Amino acid sequence: MPMSPTLDEFQELVDSMLIQHQSILDILSKGQEASARVNRAVVKSVTNCGCISVEAKKNVIPEDATLADLKHILSNHLQGNLCPNCRDIIEAELGKQLFYITALVNTLGFTLEDILKREESNLKTLTIYNLR
């Protein structure tokens, strides 16, 4: 099994591949398009394939529930598992979205590693009180 690229290697690869859409405006609009395609692929998994379904209803939270309890009480409303075809499509669309996020990171002069470290630090500092 081939090794996965490091964050730096991936960031450099994206930088070398981004030729046509170097404008920040292109990157932002292509990123939005990629995000919409991810959403559409998930919706199609529900509406066309049916391998997953959305079973949404109001979450009932007991009065004595703590913030720590919420992780186990709240639902993602998703039922089933992605079939191999839907999984492949969504994974490909997420890859395109990651490409444009990385292109934006490059254009603005950040590194993926620094962003990841900062977010990890925020999550560790705020723990459950991060509430995302």
Residue 68: predicted pLDDT: 80
pLDDT single digits (tens) 43-95 = 999 999 999 999 999 988 999 998 888 888 888 999 999 999 999 999 999 99
18 inside domain:
no
Determine, yes or no, domain membership for 7: no
- Per-residue confidence (pLDDT) for residue 47, from 0 to 100: 98
Closest by CA position to 8, among listed 118, 112, 95: 112
Residue with tokens 């939270």: 61
27 belongs to a structural domain: yes
Summarised one tens digit per residue, pLDDT across range 96-128 is 999 999 999 999 999 999 999 999 988 888 776
Q: Which residues pair with 53 in a beta bridge?
A: 79
Number of domains in the chain: 1
Residue 78 and residue 93: Cα distance in Å, rounded? 19
Is 53 in contact with 81 (CB distance < 8 Å)?
Answer: no
pTM equals 0.85
Can you give 34-63 as a three-state secondary structure string? HHHHHHHHHHHHHHHHCCEEECCCCCCCCC
Q: Domain for residue 10, yes or no?
A: no
User: What is the extent of the structural domain holding 37?
Assistant: 23-130
The answer to whether position 1 is within a domain reads no
- For residue 131, what pLDDT is reported? 65
CATH for 52: 1.10.287
Q: Are 83 and 51 in contact (CB under 8 A)?
A: yes
* Angular region, 3: left φ>0, alpha ψ -120 to 50, beta rest: beta
Q: Is residue 71 part of a domain?
A: yes
Q: Evaluate whether residue 70 is within a structural domain.
A: yes
Asked if residue 66 belongs to a domain, the reply is: yes
